[in-house]
Chain A
Amino acid sequence: MRTVTLEIDGKKVKAREGLSLLEAARDAGVHIPSLCYHEKLLPQGACRLCMVEISRKGRARLVASCAYEVEDGLVVNTQSPKVLKVRKVLWELLLASSPTLASVAQQYGVTETRFESDVSQCTLCGVCVRYCAEVKKANALTFVGRGIDRRVAFVDEVVSTGVCMDCRECFGLCATGKIPRETDGACFDGLTVRDFIGGRHGHHA
């Protein structure tokens, strides 16, 4: 496997080709926040908290470090003013919908949001959906709806086969704790597609 050399926050870093910037940074001890990244899953690029500034040939731009692969000679800044500004607003947006993330957001210096609260307690990071599909191959969870109506739902036909009863691995993966909390931590009986995990109108909400 070839390795490439790049610079992350002023540090020279050697990384395996094919690795993402996020993984290379974490390996080098540089922490980048993220919600939708999971080492066992394909990158999703959804939460955008892992945005970093890269520059090449003097041109700088923001990229999602979970989806951008390491390149030789790349200069990466994980703390540039632009990165910090984007990260702050993203945390504020997330807090408006998922207040349980307050303690995590606090670690990044964000203690309050300027946005109107519209609580769903789901960041739609999709770790549960993708883990269920990619790792468990069960596909018991899915996204429903589009745009601002997007939400996560259990697929009734799959849940009713009983596959979830022995698994429940999504419980521990849920960043906001919504899944264990709203599925009562135990019972999937009688759940239908309408019981939107991420929904603002579901009967659990």
Chain B
Amino acid sequence: MVRLRSPADLEKARKRILSQRDPRKPCVTVCSGTGCHAYGCDKVYQAFLAEIAKNGLQGKVEVRRTGCHGFCERGVITVIFPEEVCYLRVKTEDVPEIIETTLAGKGVVERLLYQDGDGRRIVQEGDIPFYKHQTRTVLGNNRFIDPKNIEDYIALGGYSALAKALCKMTPEQVLETVKKANLRGRGGGGFPAGVKWETTRNAPGEKKYVIVNADEGDPGAYMDRSLLEGNPHSVLEGLIIGAYAIGSHDGFVYVRQEYPLAVENLLVALAQARQHGLLGCDILGSGFDFDVRIHRGAGAFVSGESSALMTAIEGRVGEPRSKYIHTAVKGLWGMPSTLNNVETWANVPLIINRGADWFTSIGTEGSKGTKVFSLVGKVNNTGLVEVPMGMTLRQIIYDIGGGIRQGKEFKAVQTGGPSGGCLPEGLLDLPVDFDELTKVGSMMGSGGMIVMDEDTCMVDVARYFLRFLGEESCGKCVPCREGIRQMIKILDRVCQGEGRAGDVELLVELSEVLADASLCALGQTAPNPVLSTIKYFRDEYDAHIKQKRCPAGVCKALVSYYIQPERCQACMICLRKCPVDAISGDKKVVHVIDQEKCTKCGTCLEVCPPRFSAVVKLSGKAVSRAPVLAGKAARHERRRR
């Protein structure tokens, strides 16, 4: 490995790497993100190596492990270049067939291709609807790069933005470019990154810090993990450029303990960057010094808050403090500190290389560029999606996500993580950007997007997120700690069928106090799931409180199971399977559930044969009836009379 002493050295290195690579040579890439690891990508990778050796193809075929492709539910994802044949759900036993058909021959293994709703098979990754409607500027390189090999990143032009910034631009010019691009923070607040950088740059302090926030803690969200794991150098390059613009020589990456692969790949990336002279003293011969340390978080959601995160790096308990003086002015160890999220930093090299005008050509008036979302829940295609700001919720959920699973009805989409809001069908055509989401009572957050179908109870959802926040709050300030505690109590009783008139109003009043009086953004935004569900799904609250009914049939205390006597064939299946012997009846005698004994486990509904479909879940209370004869026996009985 050679230390790169100038931008010319970097360019030379890039040409050398490219000259050693033949773009026509077949290359098997195996996705090695955390999702695919769970599916056994290690074994698939090893199987490819072994099979290639067995078939005498060594040297003729390259095998590469890459970053996360984002379509994680279909892992292990394998793409074969140069044809870009994309195989999904690849298992070790599929490897010999792939070698034989696609590498030895030039055919495709049909059964491993993506199949759309009409049964059509799609060969190339880019043609799969999940990918076709995305704009992958930040995530795009994940699929080409082995995150443990800096040469892969350099080959694609990596660190050229850094070279440009350090050697062709002044720090002020870099700052102006980022400001002009109007890059807004991807971590939640949407605060303009350039303005934050400028504040830190101009603030007095002998030392200045730049920090990567990789404390991604939203349930179901993993945008930052995939970027750090899959393309760590892109984040690093952005950070170094930011440090140069700000005048900082010390950087930190605050990464969750729960992200071992991200830490592993990042450590490798840091070591390789140092060896290449891209970190440390006199970076690329520019005279600029900068290095980075990793701080592993101890698993607290609230540590993602800027003052809490900095307190944690200082070695104290990660609790937010009053921020009447912003951390950009007085942050880590009292020094000016700029904290940006992983995705924000990863956008910086793109902006420097392609210019602010390119960046502002994507997106909406107030929100520029793309945003990565973690699309999860009841959609057909779940995974990481990157779209231009301003794409509508409907496009994301239906065109990319492929609509709702099992043909069910859409009910709500929750954006922005646990403290975001739940938006109803009427808002599906909302263009997704920072300001539009805030206007309707939700937020961008770091990009969580949870889709819910008709089987979701919105009161229960609000309670779920509040419980999460109640556990993850630091517990320091009264409104957040005691407010959330009481809100959970109120929602508990509503879900139990013990809601009272005035409960909704009390929730709203508490919400206002939390928003106004809490110490940090966690408490200030904690009411969002409650307020948004009250705003858009008030009828569900009313059904729980006034009619003691859970319309979605989720809240156990408010549902009951009932066997429709006219459909029951007295087959004895549910009667035998009921774990609490709550079902009476006999052969030829219609089965009846004893509502007193029933624990509402739903087993009877599950086991009742679909051709009978006699068991139904009722919202509200069912009436027990005396056993009556079923089916044939009943007809026989009628005839007898």
Is B482 in the interface zone, CB < 8 Å from A?
A: yes
B517 contact from A51, A123, A126, A150, Cβ within 8 A:
A51
Is B168 in the interface zone, CB < 8 Å from A?
A: no
Contact stretch, chosen from A82-90, A160-168, A174-182, A187-195:
A82-90
Contact stretch, chosen from A7-15, A103-111, A141-149:
A141-149
Contacts of A48 in B (CB 8 A): 477-479, 517-519
Is B470 in the interface zone, CB < 8 Å from A?
A: yes
Q: Is the CB of B478 within 8 A of A93?
A: yes
Is B475 in the interface zone, CB < 8 Å from A?
A: yes
Residues 475 to 509 of chain B near chain A (Cβ within 8 Å): 475-479, 481-486, 488-489, 506, 509
Question: Would you give the shortest CB distance from B475 to chain A, in whole angstroms?
Answer: 3
Is B472 in the interface zone, CB < 8 Å from A?
A: yes
Q: Is the CB of A47 within 8 A of B478?
A: yes
Contacts of B406 in A (CB 8 A): none
Nearest-neighbor residue (CB-CB) of A21 within chain B: B324
Q: Is the CB of A85 within 8 A of B471?
A: no
Residues 17 to 73 of chain A near chain B (Cβ within 8 Å): 43-49, 51, 62-64, 67-69
Q: Is the CB of B513 within 8 A of A85?
A: yes
Q: Is the CB of B477 within 8 A of A45?
A: yes
Q: Is the CB of B471 within 8 A of A46?
A: no
Q: How far is the CA of A43 from the CA of B510 in the complex (A)?
A: 25
Q: Is the CB of B516 within 8 A of A124?
A: no
Question: Would you give the shortest CB distance from B402 to chain A, in whole angstroms?
Answer: 37
Q: Is the CB of B322 within 8 A of A67?
A: yes
Q: Is the interface of B mostly helix, strand, loop or mixed?
A: helix
Q: Is the CB of B489 within 8 A of A115?
A: yes
Is A114 in the interface zone, CB < 8 Å from B?
A: yes
Question: Would you give the shortest CB distance from A108 to chain B, in whole angstroms?
Answer: 14
Question: Would you give the shortest CB distance from B320 to chain A, in whole angstroms?
Answer: 9
Q: Is the CB of A46 within 8 A of B472?
A: no
A43, A45, A49 interface centre (most CB from chain B within 10 Å): A45
B471 contact from A51, A62, A146, Cβ within 8 A:
A146
Is A116 in the interface zone, CB < 8 Å from B?
A: yes
Is A96 in the interface zone, CB < 8 Å from B?
A: yes
Q: Is the CB of B470 within 8 A of A147?
A: yes
Contacts of A97 in B (CB 8 A): 482
Q: How many A-B residue pairs have CB under 8 A?
A: 103
Contacts of B322 in A (CB 8 A): 43, 45, 64, 67-68
Q: Is the CB of B476 within 8 A of A93?
A: no
Residues 444 to 477 of chain B near chain A (Cβ within 8 Å): 469-477
Q: Is the CB of A89 within 8 A of B489?
A: no
Nearest-neighbor residue (CB-CB) of A142 within chain B: B317
Q: Is the CB of A115 within 8 A of B475?
A: no
Q: Is the CB of B482 within 8 A of A96?
A: yes
Question: Would you give the shortest CB distance from B90 to chain A, in whole angstroms?
Answer: 41
Task: Given A46-B477, A69-B324, A89-B510, check contact A147 B472 (CB 8 Å).
Answer: yes
Question: Would you give the shortest CB distance from B2 to chain A, in whole angstroms?
Answer: 48
Q: How far is the CA of A68 from the CA of B482 in the complex (A)?
A: 23
A115 contact from B474, B476, B486, Cβ within 8 A:
B486
A93, A97, A149 interface centre (most CB from chain B within 10 Å): A93
Is B321 in the interface zone, CB < 8 Å from A?
A: yes
Contacts of B321 in A (CB 8 A): 45
Task: Given A89-B513, A93-B483, check contact A114 B474 (CB 8 Å).
Answer: no
Q: How far is the CA of A47 from the CA of B479 in the complex (A)?
A: 8
Question: Would you give the shortest CB distance from B519 to chain A, in whole angstroms?
Answer: 5
Q: Is the CB of A45 within 8 A of B470?
A: no
Question: Would you give the shortest CB distance from B510 to chain A, in whole angstroms?
Answer: 7
A96 contact from B302, B471, B486, B519, Cβ within 8 A:
B486
Contacts of A114 in B (CB 8 A): 506
Question: Would you give the shortest CB distance from A112 to chain B, in whole angstroms?
Answer: 14
Nearest-neighbor residue (CB-CB) of B523 within chain A: A48
Contacts of A127 in B (CB 8 A): none
Is A94 in the interface zone, CB < 8 Å from B?
A: yes
Is A118 in the interface zone, CB < 8 Å from B?
A: yes
Nearest-neighbor residue (CB-CB) of A94 within chain B: B478
Question: Would you give the shortest CB distance from B349 to chain A, in whole angstroms?
Answer: 37
Contacts of B513 in A (CB 8 A): 85-86, 89-90
Is B300 in the interface zone, CB < 8 Å from A?
A: yes
Q: Is the CB of B477 within 8 A of A47?
A: yes
Q: How far is the CA of A51 from the CA of B519 in the complex (A)?
A: 10
B324, B472, B479, B510 interface centre (most CB from chain A within 10 Å): B324
A44, A48, A118 interface centre (most CB from chain B within 10 Å): A48
Q: Is the CB of B478 within 8 A of A90?
A: yes
Question: Would you give the shortest CB distance from B258 to chain A, in whole angstroms?
Answer: 16
B475, B479, B509 interface centre (most CB from chain A within 10 Å): B475
Residues 117 to 147 of chain A near chain B (Cβ within 8 Å): 118, 123-124, 126, 143, 145-147
Q: Is the CB of A116 within 8 A of B478?
A: no
Question: Would you give the shortest CB distance from A122 to chain B, in whole angstroms?
Answer: 11
Q: How far is the CA of A157 from the CA of B95 in the complex (A)?
A: 59
Question: Would you give the shortest CB distance from A181 to chain B, in whole angstroms?
Answer: 21
Nearest-neighbor residue (CB-CB) of B325 within chain A: A69
Q: How far is the CA of A115 from the CA of B502 in the complex (A)?
A: 12
A-B contact pairs, 28 of them (CB 8 A): A43-B322, A45-B321, A46-B478, A46-B519, A48-B478, A48-B479, A62-B516, A63-B324, A67-B324, A85-B513, A86-B479, A89-B510, A93-B482, A94-B478, A94-B482, A115-B489, A116-B489, A124-B475, A124-B481, A126-B476, A147-B469, A147-B470, A147-B471, A147-B472, A147-B474, A147-B481, A148-B484, A149-B471
New A-B contacts (16) at CB < 8 Å, excluding given A43-B322, A49-B478, A146-B474 = A45-B321, A46-B476, A47-B477, A68-B324, A85-B512, A85-B513, A86-B513, A86-B517, A89-B510, A90-B513, A93-B486, A115-B489, A146-B300, A147-B471, A148-B488, A149-B475
**Which residues from chain A sit less than 8 Å from chain B, CB to CB?**
43-49, 51, 62-64, 67-69, 82, 85-86, 89-90, 93-94, 96-97, 114-116, 118, 123-124, 126, 143, 145-150
Closest 3 CB pairs of A and B: A150-B475, A67-B322, A93-B482
